[in-house]
Every structure is written in C-alpha cells, then in structure tokens.
Structure 1
Amino acid sequence: MLVPPLFEEMNRMRKMMVDVMRSLHTLGISSFLPDLPGTNESLVALQRVTLSGWQMAVMACAQQHQISHIASFRGGVLAIARMHVADHWMLSPVKGATILRTMMRTKVAADREAGLSTGIAELTARAGAGPLELAGNIIGSELFAQLNDAEIPEMENQRIVRLESDNKPGDVQIHGSALWLRAEPDDDAEMSFAIAQDIDGWIGQ
C-alpha cells in the first residue's frame, strides 16, 4: 500500500506515484494507492478531517487488505503512526509543522501580492479559532493542531529513503528531483523506477 503526501504535495507527486506503481507491477509487485478522507474522490469534507482520523482510516484499509508492507511519501508518514506491526518504507519523511509552515508562507506571499498584510503568527491564531484556507485547502482547527504537533514516527521496522541532495539522516539515498517543491505537477521517470527497485529489494529482504 502506498500512502500519498498531503495537500499540494500530493497533487505535485501523484503522476510520479502512479509511475512507481506501474514499475512495481513490472517487477511482480501489486500495489494500490488509497485516497485519504477529504481528498480526491472522498465524499468527506476536508475541514471535517483530523490527523487521527487519517491514521484510523489508513490502519483500517491496511487491515482490510491484509497489508504488511507500506510505502509512505513525505507527509504521508504522519498517517501511518499507529501501524507499528507493519514494515514501513518512507520517502523524505517530514514533520507536520514543516508542512504547515510551508503552506502558510505561500499564503503570506499570496496575500502580499494582493496588497494584504498577514503573518505566520496571525494565521496560526486564526487556525485555532476556526477553519483556515491554505493553498486551496480548508483545514479545520483540530487537523491544524494535530499536524502542528506531529513528529515523524519511529517504527520498529522502517527504511528511510532520501534524495542524494538531502543531508538528513536516512538508510539510503537515491538520485532524483524534489517534485514536491515544483510549482506544477511533474514527474521523474528515472526516480520513479529507482523508487520501485528499492521497494522491491526492501520487500525481498
């Protein structure tokens, strides 16, 4: 099971993740990519979603399909924090506060271009009082608070994969592009195949 990144990073990396799944198929590995509640085809409104709700949904999905190996991308690692019995492959895991800061900086920059003056502290205060729109996402107060406190989970059986340009601690580095930083959705066929190969080797260990 693949767990996608969160918010805009999910949109920017979805093509890459589909390419990873296709490459896994050629390697003889079946995979699926569920939509988190409040995203894509989900009928749940995002502003009603919580991080704990995402964690419960991912856990229920894995149990239903008897999944023992989970590959999580970026902020998707925050949704697997309760699944200590599974084996976890993680690409460039990130804290919830980092995701929120990036989105708030984008909001501040957009407001500045529109002649408005806002700041991180003001947006954080507004998020505590009610839903807050960031990068087109209506984020409820509870989701904001839970994400702000969410650290990268440390699992018993995990493999952290990072790009060669990333100096943070990890188990392996691969060549590729930080697609989550692109202004528009993009892909990197070489990186997608490298990810699939690493997942294949990890499962076969």
Structure 2
Amino acid sequence: MSAAAQSSRRVLLVPPLFDEMNRMRKMLVDVMRALEGLEVGSFLPDLPGTNESLIALEQATLSDWQAAIQACAQQHEISHIASFRGGALTVAAMDKASHWIFSPVKGATILRTMMRTRVAADRESGRNTSLADLTAQAETGPLELAGNILGSQLFTQLNAAEFPDLENQRIVRLESDNKPSDVKIPGSALWLRAEPDDDPAMSKTIANDIAAWIKQ
C-alpha cells in the first residue's frame, strides 16, 4: 500500500461539469498522480448521471449531486474538498469542510456556453434556434446540450446556482483571470480548448498548492 493511501492527508476532488470534465480529465489524473508523490491521498467520484453511474443524466438534479458529494466525503471521512470549475456548485451545503476551489463558475454561465454551442450547431444544420427557445424547452422537458440530456429540474437548479461563499475556502484562479482570488497560478484554461488537453506544469502547481493547503 502506498504512503498516500495510508496517509491521513486526503482530499476529495470534485470534477468540472459536462464537456469541461472531458477537456480536463487528463489534468485531473495528473493532479492525482502528483498528489500521490506528495503523500496525499485523493478520490475522484463520478457524479450521478455521469460515466459509470446507474442513473441517466436526464434523471439527475443538482440536489442529487450535492447529496452524493457530501455522502462520499462522509463515507471516506474527508474534510478537505478540491472543486474544479462548476464542480464548486455541488459543495454549497458542505460549510463545515475546508474548500479549495479552482476557477469557480456560475451555473448560468455553464448553461449559456452550452446553449450557444447548440444554437451554432443548429444554424449549421439549417435550423433557427435561440437561447430563449432552448430555455423554454428546458422548462417543459429534457434538453440536449453538447451531447448531454438535461432534465428540467437540473436545468432550473443550475441556472439559479451561484458558486458558494464558504467559511473555509481558498479560491485559485489562473494568472490571466482578473476575478478575485486568494492565489493566482500560471497555466492554461483547458476548459476552453476544442479538444481534451493537458498542462503538466499547471497540474503539478495545483497538486503542490493543494498539498500545502492541507498542511495548514
């Protein structure tokens, strides 16, 4: 058994949402490997409705995601949570935990980006679709965005979701981001890439910062 697996220093990683998770998957794996070398254990759960989940995304809600992350942390007795991008929206109820949050984003921003992609794709197919059209559709039934089938409740909850202001939190952003943060790091906005990519130097910096934060 590795030193990281036996260590009392452990962190639960909460992934980004939807296609941002696909673009950042390699980075998250690299962060976990770097944490292993720093003797920090880490977990990366699947959210309900994603990857190997037994339920369809169409049936999942933001409330389900929040309950699942909280249950996972309790099961593994982890009090340190590292959330990435929209993953921060799933930890709003965990005010007693310590939170490391990377480039948090509002739920409405995530949805708007996905809807614009859908509008552009529809236009290329000869269909005229607007953001208002898609929002109206989501209010009455499932909506497909970027290959994801979102139920009405998930869409509504995400559209209203702000990233939480938690008591024990460390907000981390890229140096190129002018939004308020506790620390800035060099790196690439991988969630904006057209295809999945990585940034080994950024992954190492993230792991080092998480490990130092846990020691505090």
TM-score using structure 1 length: 0.99
Give 4+ residue runs of structure 1 displaced > 6 Å after superposition.
none
- Which residue of the partner structure matches residue 16 of structure 1? 27
Q: Secondary structure at the match of 1:31?
A: strand
| Residue of structure 2 aligned with 1:197, choices 183, 208, 215 | 208
Pairing 1:81–2:121 present: no
Within-5 A mapping of 1:115-134? 115-134=126-145
For residues 74 and 33 of structure 1, what CA distance do their matches in structure 2 show? 14
Q: Secondary structure at the match of 2:42?
A: coil
For residues 84 and 44 of structure 1, what CA distance do their matches in structure 2 show? 27
Q: Secondary structure at the match of 2:43?
A: coil
Letter in 1 for 2:100: W
Pairing 1:109–2:120 present: yes
Letter in 2 for 1:5: P
- Which residue of the partner structure matches residue 144 of structure 1? 155
Structure 2 residue runs of 5 or longer lacking an equivalent are: 1-11
TM-score using structure 2 length: 0.94
Deviations 1:56-94 (A, max 9, x none): 011011001001100000000000111011000000000
* Deviation for aligned residue 1:5: 0.3
* Deviation for aligned residue 1:43: 1.3
Amino-acid identity (%): 73
For residues 102 and 10 of structure 1, what CA distance do their matches in structure 2 show? 14
For residues 16 and 78 of structure 2, what CA distance do their matches in structure 1 show? 19
Letter in 2 for 1:145: T
* Deviation for aligned residue 1:138: 0.2
- Which residue of the partner structure matches residue 45 of structure 1? 56
Structure 1 residue runs of 5 or longer lacking an equivalent are: none
Pairing 1:64–2:75 present: yes
For residues 189 and 210 of structure 2, what CA distance do their matches in structure 1 show? 18
For residues 98 and 58 of structure 1, what CA distance do their matches in structure 2 show? 22
Q: Secondary structure at the match of 2:17?
A: coil
Q: Secondary structure at the match of 2:101?
A: strand
Count, aligned residues: 205
For residues 54 and 185 of structure 1, what CA distance do their matches in structure 2 show? 24
For residues 43 and 184 of structure 1, what CA distance do their matches in structure 2 show? 27
For residues 45 and 64 of structure 2, what CA distance do their matches in structure 1 show? 14
For the aligned residue pairs, the C-alpha RMSD in angstroms reads 0.4
Deviations 1:112-165 (A, max 9, x none): 111110010110000001000000000000000000000010110000000000
| Residue of structure 1 aligned with 2:104, choices 83, 90, 93 | 93
For residues 6 and 155 of structure 1, what CA distance do their matches in structure 2 show? 20
Pairing 1:182–2:193 present: yes
Pairing 1:159–2:151 present: no
Within-5 A mapping of 1:15-34? 15-34=26-45
| Residue of structure 1 aligned with 2:65, choices 51, 54, 60 | 54
* Deviation for aligned residue 1:52: 0.5
Letter in 2 for 1:11: N
Q: Secondary structure at the match of 2:184?
A: strand
